[in-house]
Amino acid sequence: MTTPSDTGFAGDSGTTARTTSPETRTQPSEPYVEMRIPEPGEAEQAREAGIELPLIPIPFPVFTVSGRYVYSRAITLPTPIPLPRPLPIERIPIPRPGPGRAESDEAAETVYDEDINAISLYQREEVRFDVDGRYPQMTISGTRSGFLTVAGHWIASVRKTASGSYEGPIWYKDGATGAIAHTHVSAKVTGGLFPASRKLEITFTGGGAAAFTRSYAFESGYHRGVEFEYDRVSNAVAVTSVNTHAHPNRPASLPAENLTIETVFRRAGFDVSVSPGGGVIPIGAAGPDAAWTDQEMHDAMQIHWSRFANKPQWAMWVLFARLHVSGTSLGGIMFDDIGPNHRQGTAIFSHAFIAQPPAGDPAPAAWVERMRFWTAVHEMGHSFNLAHSWQKSLGTPWIALANEPEARSFMNYPYNVAGGQNAFFANFDYRFSNAELLFTRHAPERFVQMGNENWFSNHGFREAAQHSHPDYELRLTTSRADDRFPYLAPPVVEIALVNRSERTRTVSSARISERGDFTLVINGERREARLWMPHMRHCGEGDDKVLRPGEAVYDSAMIASGKNGWDLAEPGRYCIQAVIEVDGQPVYSNQLMVTIESPGSREEEKIAADFFTPEVGQVLAANGTRGLAKVTDVLAAAAELEGNPVSQVAALALATPLAFDFKLLDEGSASGAGAGADTRMGARDAGSGGGRRIEQYKADPKAARKLLERAMGGKAGARGAAKPGSADSLVDAVGHTRFLRDAPVIAAIEKAEVPNSTEAFLAFAADGQKAEAAAALPVSDRMQRLLDAKAAGLTQ
Amino acid sequence: MTRLKLALEEGFQDDYVVVLADGRMIAEETDVTTRYQISLARLVEIDLPPGTTEIEIRLPEKGLAGAIETDGSVPGTLRVSLGRDGRELAFVRDEPLRFA
């Protein structure tokens, strides 16, 4: 704790570093909205704070309705709980409200309908209504909570309709599956001008769920609350406000004001208070060299921040120091990426480069003041988990984000834009970008709140995994040592859904990786998180499968490519995580870290451009074709690579379609025909006209066998000589359950017993006993046991 | 000797970085990882031998390397980043080093 009596704050002319306790402040204490009717007492407080309130005349009536609205009620659970309830809906008895918040009473009285779709019996819903005022994002978001946990979070983009209401689709959902069933909202503000009587009525529709309308009471003109605590090292300068007209290089339309840090964040939608605990830290705390390391600042935060708790909270510590040990090149840093609770503290170095105005600047003192102010807000922005403007797509963004390298935002470097810092400040309105405001106002709380989600990580399932179905484990593994894959080798993820309960459970036997309720995210270190979109989805629900305790259903997924391209191809590290719904509740997987190695040879580099194409991805997913000459050529080249499992995957993809007669619709040119073109035996279909014809390629079991032997690491023509275990690496390369599904075909190729007609072949492949077929191949005993277990739990 | 301020900036992740002057190793850095809140992984000051004509940066574990010719004028600062695809190194010389 430090004393707040020091006068070292540069904005200390009675306008900044004001200490306002949350208990005593009047809200809203700063004009979040640009033009509105001041609240009683607000003008006096604004004068004290040096804030210029918007001047009237204003075109009456001008008032805003954005802000936070709440619905809450107590629940008396009937016994047994009738879920789902039959229609018509019986209202849950709502206890007579006791003394408490007025808004709770109002909301409880105006329940139109119960949300019979929700699987969570939540007691509170908070809605952030963002349609007017300062920088409206035309967005409504809501958070539904139970007694102790957040059940779900939704975000909708809305437009104003002719009737004065707002409506639009829900485009983002987070949390327990089923908590947010609807897909569309329409909202209308009722209750007149005065906040105390204002209500927001939202109707939820769509998504196959019963529609319902809920009424929310106005709670605040801000979306969220936050507290700042400023401390200054005795040899540093703290700037917490700036005169926006002090420097001549500025937008012509920029209002003249004494802008404080708190005001900036209030305009971003936060109800800001300043902790009374801030003050001055003696220079001795910095160590003998007076420059600060990150660890020293972290220690200082624990000692001097009155609110320090090492837990998620809407509060941050801001340190104004003189220099970092890195020297003058570091203007500030959000230093708290140490330990389990990130983003609690940030620092500004008043004597770094931000105190060095360019030669010839017309107002050097104002330049320094402005850069110190910009740096302070910039570093505090990092504490809200805002990334630099040009790095929005890196890390793990909460939604797919575009970089904003030219943004006139606090989160951009002024000297990095085209035209440099002069161009930046000529258009800088002292604000965050719309994408940043959307995030800070509407993203799930854990992504933004200090001490919660790790810095630079806001799109993971990590927090949601706490709500995973306790009876199941969704396990992702690979067969590669250390989960490292050579360049070009398509990673295969082995998936197991395990019954971890102590009783027998029934699950769907539909193929896991192709189910509509299975989601897999690929999160590369240097690119945005990507949703894996499998090339194929199987229709049908699948039969039920009984799992005794400890048993599992299995699948293998070649996740390197999908409908949106090759997401797992470039060298680097990737985090893979999946979620599947069982009994209406999500089951989250482990986070699997996969490494793609750099090219190991010139040959691998040469093939890459032709290999990483959508066509090759589709063919590998379908396990072969005879219709695409370019693809078969690439696969043939890949099959020749030594020491890379891609050679096995490619060889098998080439071998399988050679095992049986293969029909292909020829659109009139034979140029696209690939391997086996010389074995075509079909005649042009006279009835089809226009040169279209169905070609039939004869099976080439000899060629198929040669390829298979290559895939198993043997030499061509060495049939029968393969050692037990020589097929293990092939099984690992293509995936255990993928191998099992193809095992009858592979075994038939190996034994030269492929039926000679397509129909007979398909019947053979379908009827084949997959585990037995696999046993006909030279796999090791260990691999055979593994395949036996997976065959028992094979999804369809 | 000429003092070079070398800033290893974006795209580094647990990397081993070797600095060579005219083919001779003059510095190595281990566990180089970008801290994206300042867009900087490591700031290193290196004394270059007189007459250095080429400065090369290698990431042997990633099979990456890149170099700049000094053309007789050794830079005071050198900023190095990995490209977005992680497969090439980008260099910027003689620009002020400013991070925040």
> How much is the mean pLDDT over chain A?
78
CB contacts of B99 in chain A (<8 Å) are: 326, 329-331, 333
The correct CATH number of A224-448 out of 3.30.70, 3.40.390, 3.40.50, 3.30.479 is 3.40.390
Q: Quick one: how far is CA A363 from the chain centroid?
A: 44
A9 pLDDT tier (thresholds 50, 70, 90): low
- A337 in contact with chain B, both atoms CB, cutoff 8 A: yes
Q: Are residues A353 and B98, on separate chains, in Cβ contact within 8 Å?
A: yes
Q: Are residues A330 and B35, on separate chains, in Cβ contact within 8 Å?
A: no
Q: Are residues B35 and A353, on separate chains, in Cβ contact within 8 Å?
A: no
CB contacts of B7 in chain A (<8 Å) are: 329
Residue type, A697: Y
Q: Are residues A330 and B38, on separate chains, in Cβ contact within 8 Å?
A: yes
Whether residue B98 is contained in a domain is answered as no
Name the CATH architecture for the domain at A468-596: Sandwich (2.60)
Q: Are residues A413 and B98, on separate chains, in Cβ contact within 8 Å?
A: yes
Write the residue in B36, B85, B96 that is nearest to A394 by C-beta: B36
Residue A250, pLDDT above cutoff 50: yes
CB contacts of A525 in chain B (<8 Å) are: 13
pLDDT for A365 equals 98
Write the residue in A326, A382, A526 that is nearest to B37 by C-beta: A382
- A326 in contact with chain B, both atoms CB, cutoff 8 A: yes
Q: Are residues B99 and A526, on separate chains, in Cβ contact within 8 Å?
A: no
Write the residue in B13, B84, B99 that is nearest to A331 by C-beta: B99
Neighbours of A428 (CB within 10 A): 23
A685 pLDDT tier (thresholds 50, 70, 90): very low
CB contacts of A388 in chain B (<8 Å) are: 36, 39
DSSP lists the bridge partners of residue A544 as A508
Write the residue in B10, B37, B64 that is nearest to A455 by C-beta: B37
DSSP lists the bridge partners of residue A203 as A186, A213
Q: How many domains does chain B have?
A: 1
A681 pLDDT tier (thresholds 50, 70, 90): very low
Q: Which residues of B touch A (CB under 8 A)?
A: 5, 7, 10-11, 13, 35-40, 43, 62-64, 82, 84-87, 96-100
Least confident span in A318-327, A482-491, A782-791: A782-791
* Residues comprising chain B, all counted: 100
Contact A596, A568 (CB under 8 A): yes
Q: Are residues A331 and B98, on separate chains, in Cβ contact within 8 Å?
A: yes
Q: What is the DSSP letter of A292?
A: B
3-state SS class at A432: coil
- Strand extents, DSSP E, A418-517: 472-477, 484-485, 492-499, 505-508
DSSP lists the bridge partners of residue A49 as none
Residue contacts between A and B (CB atoms, under 8 Å): 68
The top-scoring range by mean pLDDT among A193-197, A604-608, A619-623 is A604-608
Write the residue in B63, B86, B99 that is nearest to A329 by C-beta: B99
Residue A382, pLDDT above cutoff 70: yes
- A475 in contact with chain B, both atoms CB, cutoff 8 A: no
pLDDT for A700 equals 80
- A723 in contact with chain B, both atoms CB, cutoff 8 A: no
A770 pLDDT tier (thresholds 50, 70, 90): low
CB contacts of B4 in chain A (<8 Å) are: none
The residue to which tokens 């089923």 are assigned: A178
3-state SS class at A164: coil
The pLDDT > 70 percentage for chain A reads 71
CB contacts of B62 in chain A (<8 Å) are: 571, 598
pLDDT digits (tens, 9 = 90+) for A624-653: 776 677 888 999 999 999 889 999 999 988
Q: Mark A551-573 as b/e (b = at least 16 C-beta within 10 Å).
A: bbbbbbbbbbbbeeebbbbbbbb
* Domain carrying residue B11: 2-93
Neighbouring C-alpha atoms within 13 Å toward the C-beta of A644 = 27
A166 pLDDT tier (thresholds 50, 70, 90): very high
- A455 in contact with chain B, both atoms CB, cutoff 8 A: yes
A390 CA to chain B: closest CA distance, Å? 10
CB contacts of B38 in chain A (<8 Å) are: 330, 333
- A456 in contact with chain B, both atoms CB, cutoff 8 A: yes
pLDDT for A284 equals 72
CB contacts of A387 in chain B (<8 Å) are: 36
Whether residue B61 is contained in a domain is answered as yes
A312 CA to chain B: closest CA distance, Å? 19
Q: CA separation (Å) from A570 to A480, A534, A680, A722?
A: 17, 18, 38, 34
Whether residue B71 is contained in a domain is answered as yes
pLDDT digits (tens, 9 = 90+) for B43-82: 999 999 999 999 999 999 989 999 999 987 889 999 999 9
Contact A163, A171 (CB under 8 A): no
Best of A324, A384, A598, A612 to mutate (most B CBs within 10 Å, chain B)? A598
Q: What is the DSSP letter of A412?
A: S
pLDDT for A769 equals 60
Q: Are residues A330 and B86, on separate chains, in Cβ contact within 8 Å?
A: no
- A391 in contact with chain B, both atoms CB, cutoff 8 A: yes
- A388 in contact with chain B, both atoms CB, cutoff 8 A: yes
- A415 in contact with chain B, both atoms CB, cutoff 8 A: yes
Least confident span in A16-25, A46-55, A391-400: A16-25
Residue A577, pLDDT above cutoff 60: yes
* Residues comprising chain A, all counted: 796
Q: What is the CATH number of the domain that holds B27?
A: 2.60.40.2890
Read out DSSP for A55-100? Answer: PSP--SS-----EEEEEE------SS--SSPPSSPPPPPPPPP-SS
CA–CA dist A107, A191 (Å, integer):
12
Q: What is the mean pLDDT of residues A761-789?
A: 72
Q: What is the side-by-side order of every strand in the sheet holding B2-8?
A: B42-48, B2-8, B77-82, B89-93
Write the residue in A330, A395, A526 that is nearest to B99 by C-beta: A330
CB contacts of A379 in chain B (<8 Å) are: 100
Q: A375: closest CA among A314, A333, A335?
A: A333
- Strand extents, DSSP E, chain B: 2-8, 15-21, 24-32, 42-48, 54-59, 64-69, 77-82, 89-93
> Which one has a higher pLDDT value, A628 or A418?
A418
Give the residue from chain A lying closest to B87, CA to CA. A571
Write the residue in A327, A378, A571 that is nearest to B100 by C-beta: A378
Q: Are residues B98 and A334, on separate chains, in Cβ contact within 8 Å?
A: no
Best of A293, A294, A329, A391 to mutate (most B CBs within 10 Å, chain B)? A329
CB contacts of B35 in chain A (<8 Å) are: 337
Contact B6, B45 (CB under 8 A): yes
Write the residue in B36, B38, B86 that is nearest to A572 by C-beta: B86
> Which one has a higher pLDDT value, A106 or A400?
A400
CB contacts of A455 in chain B (<8 Å) are: 36-37
Give the residue from chain A lying closest to B45, CA to CA. A326
Q: Are residues A330 and B100, on separate chains, in Cβ contact within 8 Å?
A: yes
CB contacts of B43 in chain A (<8 Å) are: 326-327, 329
Residue A221, pLDDT above cutoff 80: yes
Q: What is the mean pLDDT of residues A234-263?
A: 97
- A334 in contact with chain B, both atoms CB, cutoff 8 A: yes
Residue A164, pLDDT above cutoff 60: yes
Give the residue from chain B lying closest to A573, CA to CA. B13
